[in-house]
């Protein structure tokens, strides 16, 4: 029976280290190859030795697909391809291909240069790895080999994020990666057609959340920034370089434009500049508004947002600064924060989640006196605001996507087990679709019912069409005919042929030993059936073509021998002839 | 003509093709025009290859065919059709047949038999489809002929089983357009089986081809449009189509469901998988709501649009559309809207400063949460957040329509509308502001909502700000803080964008008069008066101070206690403002100046009546004295015109009527004056020079009549007749004057003939109104028409002259509502001393911003004219998108005019003004004659012209020579 097997190596009932193995119709595909933020030991990368104990990965995997450039989806890629060793194709979209190496390089720098880790991948490895990448366009069907094809769909989330459909013959799997069903200021909403895959592997980060309208969030954010700037304060927005940062930039930029505001907005330089460059390039991946207006002006060519210089922080007057990193744990954002914290006119807006232990987390939980290094105590007088901008689909969005794609079954990854449980139950209840949520290393096996194409002669079809006058596309219709099955269909279905055997016992009065009886039968048949292949096998049985004849002594009467004749359905004619022949008895040979 | 045609129809049924050609030849003689059919026939015979024939046909199709020769052409085409082997040529012929049968004045029933005939022998699917299309054209041309319709429906049914989707499509289209449900029709005994068209079409809802499914639904909709009542059974079928794989099918299905829900709103349908039942309209509403989150944006737009017109839906369902139960980690969470409301009602102002004040509260029972509600849940929440702005706009519009019909819903949707004020696309923002204005009667803004609304006042787009001012004009504010907030924000707006001055004043006027009690406690603060000390007198020219005063004075109008709080200078300022800005400052009953105000105040209310009476009286006076001596009449006319003009200036609501009548009287005056000229008494050759006055008068009357006809909105047919009559008189005058001043008779022939044609045309157009024109010029003219036709020009002129002098003055009935079109150019202001410099030969864009009042169809009629100092004039047609419609009867033109010129040495002024273009054919009442196609209205219809209707503005420009 053909089947689809799915094994998450990461992201099974967990967030981070996305890596999912899919076997579909004999093809093996790896979806994403991410690292885990929470670990810095071996657990940070997926356990690739699971894939194959010995032997090269390239032989086992047909291709690797990367959904988007976040490190928890692509962070382990150089390690996987260069250090573990994989030479097959790696598929990703163009923006991902462009931005991915920047982030990998950044990650490498922090790991090696700052933390001093040894045995980490090198810049050269990143470059070599990226050489194996094949870039795909949206909705482009890429033939990986003769049978396996993949197709990318728009997923929102971040620039270049895509959902992938993997298809072999009539079986298909859709992997969503991370996606967002509500559009934001710079990206559109995820969309997929009614492709009816056998399996939909979807993320479930917000499996138990239904979010409020994004408009309220945006309005709140803008209002807070506007008020702070109006009373002459400075606003600090700590962000990570890619994704949300661009959304907030667009938001502020358009607001400044609309409201004719003059206060300067700065963006800390470095990584972001490069990234912004790519946002400018990949306009087709953004939302409707930006796509439509870029002829007049590319929205990412900011008019009000300028590069930040360290010296600007001391300038008088209001300003807004985006600075990295997002959790205020180090770097520029922390420096600026220390400078501005003392003034109650100023404001810091945390646009995302902060890990425990960071300065960001402390101030968000209401701490007003912070102990900095060197026993300094920093009093925080500035306003602290929290805004949650997240680009994952919420429970409703996930359901909506499932409804759009109409899969046969759903598999949840990239989420917490407890939350998945709820969503699983909902999906099964409301959409009546079976749902799985394997843990890491656990394999889900889905039997599939592959469709076998049947050829019908045109004449028959037309005759049948003519009988029923009304069209009925969706309803089955009775067609009279004979279905002839050949081997190929059986092979495709993975089925063994049914064998129908007839057996018959013929009693022979023969006092001699079994072997001799068999020999006599053999010689008799040999003489009668001249043009058939009659053989006497070493174990004492006789075969005529595929018909088997065995001789045995009768249990009660040693004078009678029982001849067991067995033949297949196909040889019915010959078989029945043989039995009738044997029933007549053997000729009394002179010898 | 029609009788003739009919006769010919019968003839042709019996005749052989050859003979018909002869007949066509005779026709050619009669018409004295080259017959198209003959030419075509020759061409087609000449054609050696299908490609050639196709070329000929294509050429032929470029020119229209007269109704008389259609039939001949059709015969030729059909003949050729039978011979033709190439399907592409047959296809073209089939399409030509369709085109020809649409020709006005041609009755296509004669070619139907042939068309059906060739249909039966046709093999090519494409040609079949085209032939069916032709049949459709024929069928729609003959809507009364039941027998033909039955036959066509029959043909369509027969071809429904065709394997090509194109043919099935056309068949369904035919059924939709011609099929009838009425059983009574079939009882006529045609012998045809009773066909239930709906059932037949319904069966094709499950065709294998999505295009055919779409066509089937469209055919069903077509049936509905033609007034046939659809069965309710269709509803279930249509619901199944909502989950179709193809977007066009889903989109059409949504429409069909909407139609059925409007037909049977109250019937009950069961909810699947439960025992409950709901109203059909509610069920349909739920289903359409579900489509708002469809995968295809086309369907989403369609669904969102239709939601707006489902007014019968129960409020319970309606309110669900705004409901989206939030949760976070399986705990119930309140929406930001709910939180805002709670904060407001608890009296605390939004802090938002605590992290986690949006922390989720109670646990949710996992079983009770429904993630994809079957009902209407959150449809609008989704629609308003959609990626495509088309969907968002549709959702806002739908919201508006539903809110207008349900006050409770209006209250609920307010939060969402306010949110839309921050949309990224300006169009959406504008639309939501307009929507809010439309539903403002039903709502009262909370303070936090007002806050968000007012934040938009800083928008840099002028449209948005002005729309917002309009909105504030008619909103209800609940607290005095709200009023204060609004005032502060408006003043902020005023300092940031001083050009908004007028709009802001107007806004405050309404804000004041709507909320007198809320303004009252604010007065001391606003006027910064102090109980003990005199404060400094504010600057009277400060627009902000004027704004405050406008607010207060308008509030004081209905709040008699307020003036007591004013200080002395306030009263002085009141007197000043009442004079200078009388449209903004109402008359007040002020305690200190009883003498002045009491005289005025009683007359405030009934003020309109006497002026209207005055208007009526003065007009009547004029109309009654028809037979006074010319001198007296002239004086009276002059006086009345003066009165009317003054009245129009004083009473803005009567300005239209007054101007209109004054213009008419002026025409009359001019005519009388012209006829009083001595020129008429003296021998012609002597007065060549002095005829200037009379011909100038004639010209002016013509101009004035065009103005009367096209510059006023609300002019009815009654007035149009009078205006045309006046114009006819002017033309007569012109004719007489030319006759007097030119020597020789030759040019007169043409003029006379033209004039008589015009009279004829007048008679045809206004035949229904002729009885009202007793004793008038035209009445007499028509009496003498036979004589005029035969007379020589000189005699004609003589007759005309006497008639013109004898004719009476026609009474101009006043229309109910009449407004003069006017335009004011706001920008360019024309005061700048800095010339606009640009390189000569290149273009410079000049922003033009103008308000138009009472202009109908401004997209087509309003033009911008640029006059260069060298006399060169340029006319610019603004794009349709440049016109905004801020309110009924008002339009706003914001456009860019491109100027270019060769180099000048000095900066010079160009004039920019707006013109109203007119085309006289548009106004002429449609008479059956013209539609009959026989008369080509040649005489007057082609007159086009422009009337300037705004003051011209001078712009200083300086084209510099290009540097090389």
Residue of A nearest to B420 (CA): A215
Is a pLDDT exceeding 80 seen at residue B195?
A: no
What are the residue ranges of helices labelled H in B63-209?
A: 67-83, 87-101, 109-121, 125-141, 146-159, 165-178, 183-186, 197-203
Q: Tell me whether B327 touches chain A (CB under 8 Å).
A: yes
Contacts of A472 in chain B (CB under 8 A): 206
Q: Tell me whether B337 touches chain A (CB under 8 Å).
A: yes
Long-range contacts, A513-517 (Cβ 8 Å, 24+): A514/A540, A514/A551, A514/A552, A514/A553, A514/A561, A515/A540, A515/A551, A517/A551, A517/A561, A517/A563
Is a pLDDT exceeding 80 seen at residue B90?
A: yes
- pLDDT given at position B923: 47
Q: Which residues are within 8 A (CB) of B959 and not within 5 positions of it... i.e. 6 or more apart?
A: B837, B838, B839, B840, B841, B900, B901, B902, B903, B904
- pLDDT given at position B393: 92
Residue with tokens 């005032």: B487
**DSSP character for A365?**
T
C-alpha B533, offset from chain centre: 59
Is a pLDDT exceeding 70 seen at residue B181?
A: no
Contacts of B389 in chain A (CB under 8 A): 288-289
Burial class (CB in 10 A: 0-12, 13-18, 19+), B62: exposed
User: Mean pLDDT, to the nearest integer, of B71-91?
Assistant: 82
Q: What is the pLDDT of residues B92-117, one digit of tens each?
A: 888 888 888 887 777 777 777 888 88
ipTM: 0.79
Q: Is A157 left (phi over 0), alpha (psi -120 to 50) or beta?
A: left
Contacts of A189 in chain B (CB under 8 A): 386-387
Residue of A nearest to B330 (CA): A208
In angstroms and rounded to an integer, the radius of gyration of the C-alpha atoms of chain B is: 36
- pLDDT given at position A154: 94
- pLDDT given at position B364: 59
Beta strands in A76-181 (DSSP E): 90-93, 133-136, 141-143, 148-154, 162-168, 171-175
Q: What is the pLDDT of residues B309-344, one digit of tens each?
A: 888 888 877 887 777 666 665 566 666 666 666 655
Q: Tell me whether A498 touches chain B (CB under 8 Å).
A: no
Overall residue count recorded for chain B in this entry? 964
Q: What is the pLDDT of residues B785-805, one digit of tens each?
A: 777 777 777 777 778 877 777
CB-CB contact of B231 with B201 (8 Å) = no
The Cβ-side half-sphere exposure at B182, using a 13 Å CA radius, reads 11
Residues 469-488 in A contacting B (C-alpha not used; CB under 8 Å): 469-475
Contacts of A219 in chain B (CB under 8 A): 419, 422, 452
- pLDDT given at position B188: 42
- pLDDT given at position A539: 81
Q: What string of H, E and C letters represents the secondary structure of B9-20? A: HHHHHHCCHHHH
Q: Judging by DSSP bridges, how do beta strands A501-509 and A560-568 pair with one another?
A: antiparallel
Q: What is the pLDDT of residues B577-590, one digit of tens each?
A: 888 888 888 888 77
Burial class (CB in 10 A: 0-12, 13-18, 19+), B672: middle
User: Mean pLDDT, to the nearest integer, of B168-187?
Assistant: 72
Q: Which helix (H) or strand (E) holds B359?
A: none
Tell me, yes or no, if A203 is annotated catalytic.
Answer: yes
C-alpha B785, offset from chain centre: 41
Residues 357-396 in B contacting A (C-alpha not used; CB under 8 Å): 366, 369-372, 378, 381, 384-389
- pLDDT given at position B597: 40
- Interchain CB distance below 8 Å, B326 and A208: no
Angle between the N-to-C axes of helices B125-141 and B87-101, in degrees from 0 to 180, rounded to the nearest 10: 10
Contacts of A386 in chain B (CB under 8 A): 355-356
Cα(B597)–Cα(B582) distance, integer angstroms: 15
Tokens linked to B911? 């004039």
Residues 484-513 in B contacting A (C-alpha not used; CB under 8 Å): 496
- pLDDT given at position A96: 93
- pLDDT given at position A62: 92
Closest C-alpha to A285, from A181, A394, A153, A176: A153
Cα(B426)–Cα(B431) distance, integer angstroms: 8
Contacts of A193 in chain B (CB under 8 A): 295
Residue with tokens 């239904």: A210
Residue of A nearest to B326 (CA): A210
Contacts of A227 in chain B (CB under 8 A): none
Residue of B nearest to A217 (CA): B336
- pLDDT given at position B36: 61
Q: Which residues are within 8 A (CB) of A35 and not within 5 positions of it... i.e. 6 or more apart?
A: A16, A17, A44, A45, A71, A72, A75, A76, A107
Of these residues, A3, A149, A171, A203, which one is catalytic? A203
Q: What is the pLDDT of residues B32-44, one digit of tens each?
A: 344 566 666 777 7
Q: Tell me whether A213 touches chain B (CB under 8 Å).
A: yes
Residue of B nearest to A468 (CA): B161
- pLDDT given at position A134: 94
| Cα of A473 to nearest chain B Cα, Å | 5
Bridge partners, B298 (sequence order):
none
Contacts of A419 in chain B (CB under 8 A): 329-330
- pLDDT given at position B342: 61
Contacts of B206 in chain A (CB under 8 A): 471-475
Tokens linked to A430? 């409301």
What is the pTM for the complete model shown?
A: 0.73
Q: Judging by DSSP bridges, how do beta strands A409-413 and A199-203 pair with one another?
A: parallel
| Cα of B465 to nearest chain A Cα, Å | 11
- pLDDT given at position B586: 85
For chain B, percent of residues with pLDDT exceeding 90: 5
Q: What is the pLDDT of residues A50-66, one digit of tens each?
A: 887 777 888 889 999 99
What are the residue ranges of helices labelled H in A434-510?
A: 458-467, 487-493
Chain A to chain B Cβ contacts (< 8 Å) = 131
Q: How far is CA B909 from CA B841, B846, B960, in A?
A: 17, 13, 14
Q: Tell me whether A329 touches chain B (CB under 8 Å).
A: no
- pLDDT given at position B312: 85
CB-CB contact of B958 with B837 (8 Å) = yes
Closest C-alpha to B853, from B658, B585, B656: B656
Reported as a pLDDT band with limits 50, 70 and 90, residue B931 is very low
CB-CB contact of B479 with B518 (8 Å) = yes
Closest C-alpha to B205, from B227, B234, B177, B230: B234
Cα(B394)–Cα(B303) distance, integer angstroms: 9
Cα(B12)–Cα(B19) distance, integer angstroms: 9
- The top-scoring range by mean pLDDT among B50-64, B176-190, B401-415, B942-956 is B401-415
Q: Tell me whether A211 touches chain B (CB under 8 Å).
A: yes
- pLDDT given at position B930: 34
Cα(B644)–Cα(B614) distance, integer angstroms: 9
Residues 851-890 in B contacting A (C-alpha not used; CB under 8 Å): none
Cα(A579)–Cα(A576) distance, integer angstroms: 5
User: Mean pLDDT, to the nearest integer, of B690-716?
Assistant: 79
Q: Which of A211, A216, A399 sits opposite B371 (nearest CB)?
A: A399
| Cα of B337 to nearest chain A Cα, Å | 8
Q: What is the pLDDT of residues B857-868, one digit of tens each?
A: 888 888 888 888
| Cα of B662 to nearest chain A Cα, Å | 48
CB-CB contact of A512 with A522 (8 Å) = no
Q: What is the pLDDT of residues B383-396, one digit of tens each?
A: 888 888 899 999 99
- Interchain CB distance below 8 Å, B336 and A209: no
Reported as a pLDDT band with limits 50, 70 and 90, residue B369 is low
What are the residue ranges of helices labelled H in B15-49?
A: 17-31, 36-46
- Interchain CB distance below 8 Å, A399 and B388: no
Cα(B17)–Cα(B19) distance, integer angstroms: 5
- pLDDT given at position B681: 59
- Interchain CB distance below 8 Å, B329 and A209: yes
Q: Tell me whether B326 touches chain A (CB under 8 Å).
A: yes
Residue to test with chain B: of A194, A202, A210, most B Cβ within 10 A = A210
Q: What is the pLDDT of residues B114-143, one digit of tens each?
A: 888 888 888 888 888 888 888 888 888 877
Residue of A nearest to B292 (CA): A400
Q: Is A99 helix (H, G, I), strand (E, B) or coil?
A: helix
The residues of chain A scoring below 70 in pLDDT are 1, 241, 269-271, 353, 355, 465-477, 588-591
Residue with tokens 């002024």: B909
| Cα of B203 to nearest chain A Cα, Å | 7
Tokens linked to A119? 């045995």
Q: Tell me whether A188 touches chain B (CB under 8 Å).
A: yes
Query: Residues A28, A31, A32, A37: is their CA dihedral positive or negative?
Result: negative
CB-CB contact of B895 with B879 (8 Å) = yes
Q: Tell me whether B315 touches chain A (CB under 8 Å).
A: no
Q: Which helix (H) or strand (E) holds A190?
A: none
Residue to test with chain B: of A179, A182, A204, A209, most B Cβ within 10 A = A209
Q: Which residues are within 8 A (CB) of B597 and not within 5 positions of it... i.e. 6 or more apart?
A: B587, B588, B589, B590
Angle between the N-to-C axes of helices B480-496 and B501-514, in degrees from 0 to 180, rounded to the nearest 10: 170
Tokens linked to B939? 């005489």
Q: Tell me whether B351 touches chain A (CB under 8 Å).
A: no
| Cα of B494 to nearest chain A Cα, Å | 14
Reported as a pLDDT band with limits 50, 70 and 90, residue B355 is very low
Reported as a pLDDT band with limits 50, 70 and 90, residue B933 is very low
Cα(A330)–Cα(A358) distance, integer angstroms: 9
Q: Tell me whether A367 touches chain B (CB under 8 Å).
A: no
Largest separation between any pair of C-alpha atoms in chain A: 128
- Interchain CB distance below 8 Å, A471 and B293: no
């Amino acid at each position: 029976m053909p089947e689809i097997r799915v094994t998450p190596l990461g992201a099974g009932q967990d967030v981070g280290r996305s890596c999912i193995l899919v076997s579909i119709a004999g093809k093996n595909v790896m979806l994403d190859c991410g690292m885990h933020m929470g670990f810095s030991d071996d657990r940070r990368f997926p356990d690739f030795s699971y894939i194959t104990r010995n032997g090269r990965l390239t032989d086992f995997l047909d291709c690797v697909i990367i959904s988007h450039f976040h490190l928890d989806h692509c962070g382990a890629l150089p390690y996987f391809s260069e250090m573990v060793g994989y030479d097959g194709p790696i598929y990703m979209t163009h923006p991902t291909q462009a931005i991915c190496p920047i982030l990998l390089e950044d990650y490498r720098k922090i790991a090696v240069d700052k933390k001093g880790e040894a045995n980490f991948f090198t810049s050269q490895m990143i470059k070599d790895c990226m050489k194996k990448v094949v870039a795909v366009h949206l909705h482009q069907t890429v033939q990986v080999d003769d049978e396996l094809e993949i197709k990318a769909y728009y997923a929102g989330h971040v620039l270049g994020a895509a959902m992938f459909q993997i298809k072999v013959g009539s079986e298909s799997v859709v992997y969503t990666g991370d996606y967002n069903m509500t559009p934001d200021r710079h990206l559109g909403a995820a969309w997929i057609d009614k492709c009816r895959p056998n399996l939909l592997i979807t993320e479930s980060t917000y499996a138990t959340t239904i979010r409020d309208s994004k408009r309220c969030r945006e309005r709140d954010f803008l209002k807070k920034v506007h008020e702070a700037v109006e009373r002459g304060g400075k606003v600090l927005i700590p962000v990570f370089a890619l994704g949300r940062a661009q959304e907030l930039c667009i938001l502020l930029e358009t607001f400044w434009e609309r409201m004719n505001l003059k206060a300067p907005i700065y963006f800390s330089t470095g990584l972001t500049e490069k990234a912004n460059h790519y946002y400018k390039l990949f306009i087709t991946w953004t939302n409707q508004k930006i796509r439509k207006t870029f002829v007049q002006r590319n929205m990412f060519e900011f008019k009000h947002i300028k590069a930040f210089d360290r010296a600007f922080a001391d300038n008088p007057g209001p300003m807004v600064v985006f600075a990295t990193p997002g959790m205020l744990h180090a770097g520029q954002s922390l420096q600026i924060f220390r400078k501005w914290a003392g003034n109650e006119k100023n404001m810091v807006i945390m646009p995302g989640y902060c890990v425990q232990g960071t300065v960001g987390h402390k101030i968000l939980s209401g701490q007003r006196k912070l102990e900095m290094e060197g026993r300094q105590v920093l009093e925080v007088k500035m306003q602290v605001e929290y805004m949650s901008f997240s680009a994952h689909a919420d429970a409703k969005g996930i359901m909506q996507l499932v409804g759009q794609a109409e899969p046969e079954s759903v598999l949840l990854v990239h989420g917490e087990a407890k939350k998945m449980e709820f969503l699983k139950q909902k999906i099964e209840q409301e959409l009546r679709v079976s749902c799985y949520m394997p843990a890491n290393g656990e394999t889900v096996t889905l039997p599939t019912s592959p469709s076998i194409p049947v050829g019908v002669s045109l004449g028959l079809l037309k005759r049948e069409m003519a009988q029923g006058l009304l069209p009925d596309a969706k309803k089955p219709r009775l067609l009279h005919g004979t279905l002839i099955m050949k081997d190929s269909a059986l092979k495709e279905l993975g089925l063994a042929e049914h064998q129908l055997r007839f057996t018959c016992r013929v009693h022979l009065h023969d006092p001699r030993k079994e072997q001799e009886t068999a020999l006599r039968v053999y010689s008799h048949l040999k003489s009668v059936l001249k043009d058939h292949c009659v053989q006497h096998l070493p174990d004492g049985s006789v075969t005529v073509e595929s018909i088997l004849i065995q001789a045995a002594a009768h249990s009660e009467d040693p004078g009678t021998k029982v001849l067991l004749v067995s033949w297949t359905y196909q040889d019915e004619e010959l078989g029945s002839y043989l039995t009738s022949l044997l029933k007549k008895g053997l000729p009394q040979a002179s010898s | 003509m029609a009788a003739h045609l009919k006769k010919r129809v019968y003839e042709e049924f019996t005749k052989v093709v050859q003979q018909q050609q002869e007949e066509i030849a005779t026709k050619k003689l009669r018409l004295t025009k080259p017959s198209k059919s003959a030419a075509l026939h020759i061409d087609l015979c000449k054609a050696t290859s299908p490609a050639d024939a196709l070329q000929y046909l294509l050429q032929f199709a470029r020119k229209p065919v007269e109704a008389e020769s259609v039939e001949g052409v059709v015969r030729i085409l059909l003949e050729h059709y039978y011979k033709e082997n190439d399907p592409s040529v047959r296809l073209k012929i089939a399409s030509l047949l369709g085109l020809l049968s649409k020709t006005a004045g041609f009755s296509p029933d004669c070619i139907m038999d042939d068309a059906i005939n060739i249909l039966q022998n046709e093999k090519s699917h494409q040609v079949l489809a085209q032939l069916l299309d032709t049949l459709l054209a024929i069928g729609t041309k003959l809507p009364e002929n039941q027998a033909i319709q039955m036959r066509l429906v029959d043909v369509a049914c027969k071809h429904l089983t065709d394997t090509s989707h194109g043919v099935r499509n056309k068949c369904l289209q035919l059924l939709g357009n011609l099929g009838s449900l009425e059983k009574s029709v079939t009882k006529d005994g045609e012998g045809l089986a009773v066909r239930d068209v709906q059932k037949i079409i319904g069966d094709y809802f499950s065709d294998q081809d999505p295009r055919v499914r779409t066509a089937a639904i469209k055919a069903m909709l077509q049936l509905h449009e033609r007034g046939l009542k659809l069965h309710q059974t269709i509803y279930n079928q249509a619901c199944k189509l909502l989950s179709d794989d193809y977007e066009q099918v889903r989109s059409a299905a949504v429409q069909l469901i909407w139609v059925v829900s409007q037909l049977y709103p109250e019937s009950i349908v069961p909810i699947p998988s439960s025992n409950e039942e709901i109203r059909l309209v509610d069920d349909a509403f739920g289903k359409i709501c579900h489509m708002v989150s469809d995968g295809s944006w086309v369907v989403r737009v369609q669904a969102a649009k239709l939601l707006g017109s489902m007014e019968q839906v129960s409020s319970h369902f309606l309110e669900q559309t705004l409901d989206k139960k939030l949760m976070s980690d399986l705990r119930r969470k309140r929406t930001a809207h709910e939180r805002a409301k709670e904060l407001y009602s608890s009296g605390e102002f939004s802090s938002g400063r605590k992290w986690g004040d949006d922390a989720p509260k109670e646990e949710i029972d996992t079983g009770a949460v429904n993630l994809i509600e079957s009902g209407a849940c959150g449809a609008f929440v989704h629609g308003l957040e959609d990626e495509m702005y088309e969907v968002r706009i549709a959702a806002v519009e739908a919201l508006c329509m539903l809110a207008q019909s349900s006050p409770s819903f209006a209250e609920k949707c307010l939060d969402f509308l306010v949110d839309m004020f921050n949309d990224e696309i300006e169009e959406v923002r504008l639309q939501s502001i307009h929507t809010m204005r439309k539903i403002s009667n039903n709502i009262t803004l909370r303070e936090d909502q007002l806050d968000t609304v007012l934040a938009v006042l800083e928008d840099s787009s002028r449209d948005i700000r002005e729309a917002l001012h309009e909105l504030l004009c008619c909103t209800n504010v609940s607290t005095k803080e709200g009023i204060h907030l609004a005032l502060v924000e408006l003043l902020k707006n005023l300092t940031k964008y001083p050009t908004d001055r007028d709009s802001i004043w107007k806004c405050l006027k309404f804000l004041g008069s709507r909320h007198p009690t809320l303004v009252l406690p604010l007065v001391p603060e606003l006027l910064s008066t102090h109980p003990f000390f005199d404060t400094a007198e504010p600057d009277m020219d400060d627009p902000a101070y004027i704004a405050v005063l406008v607010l207060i004075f308008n509030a004081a109008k209905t709040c008699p206690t307020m003036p007591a709080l004013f200080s002395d200078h306030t009263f002085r300022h009141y007197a000043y403002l009442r004079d200078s800005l009388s449209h903004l400052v109402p008359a007040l009953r002020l305690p200190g100046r009883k003498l002045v105000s009491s005289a005025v105040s009683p007359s405030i209310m009934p003020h309109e009546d006497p002026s209207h009476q005055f208007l009526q009286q003065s007009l009547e006076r004029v109309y009654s004295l028809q037979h006074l001596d010319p001198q007296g009449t002239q004086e009276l006319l002059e006086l009345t015109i003066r009165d009317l003009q003054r009245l129009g200036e004083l009473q803005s609501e009567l300005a239209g009527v007054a101007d209109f009548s004054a213009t008419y009287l002026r025409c009359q005056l001019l005519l009388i004056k012209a006829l009083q000229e001595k020129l008429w008494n003296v021998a012609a050759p002597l007065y060549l020079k002095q005829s200037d006055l009379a011909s100038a008068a004639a010209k002016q009357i013509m101009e004035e009549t065009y103005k009367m006809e096209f510059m006023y909105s609300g002019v009815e047919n009654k007035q149009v007749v009078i205006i045309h009559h006046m114009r006819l008189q002017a033309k007569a005058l012109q004719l007489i004057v030319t006759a007097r001043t030119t020597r020789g008779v030759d040019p007169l022939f043409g003029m006379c003939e033209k004039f008589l044609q015009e009279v004829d045309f007048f008679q045809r157009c206004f035949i229904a109104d002729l009885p009202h024109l007793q004793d008038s010029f035209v009445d007499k003219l028509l009496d003498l028409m036979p004589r005029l036709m035969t007379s020589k020009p000189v005699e004609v002129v003589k007759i005309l002259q006497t008639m013109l002098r004898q004719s009476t003055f026609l009474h101009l009935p006043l229309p109910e509502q009449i407004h003069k079109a006017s335009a004011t150019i706001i920008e360019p202001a024309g005061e700048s001393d800095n010339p606009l410099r640009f390189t000569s030969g290149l273009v410079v864009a000049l922003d033009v911003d103008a308000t138009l009042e009472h202009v109908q169809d401004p997209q087509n009629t309003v033009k911008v004219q640029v006059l260069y100092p060298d006399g060169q004039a340029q006319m610019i047609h603004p794009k349709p998108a440049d016109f905004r419609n801020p309110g009924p009867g008002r339009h706003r033109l914001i456009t860019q005019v491109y100027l270019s010129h060769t180099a000048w040495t000095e900066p010079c002024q160009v004039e920019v003004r707006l013109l109203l273009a007119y085309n006289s054919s548009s106004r002429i009442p449609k008479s059956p004659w013209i539609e009959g196609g026989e008369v080509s209205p040649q005489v007057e219809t082609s007159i086009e012209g422009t009337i300037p209707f705004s003051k011209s503005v001078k712009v200083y420009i300086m084209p510099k020579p290009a540097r090389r």
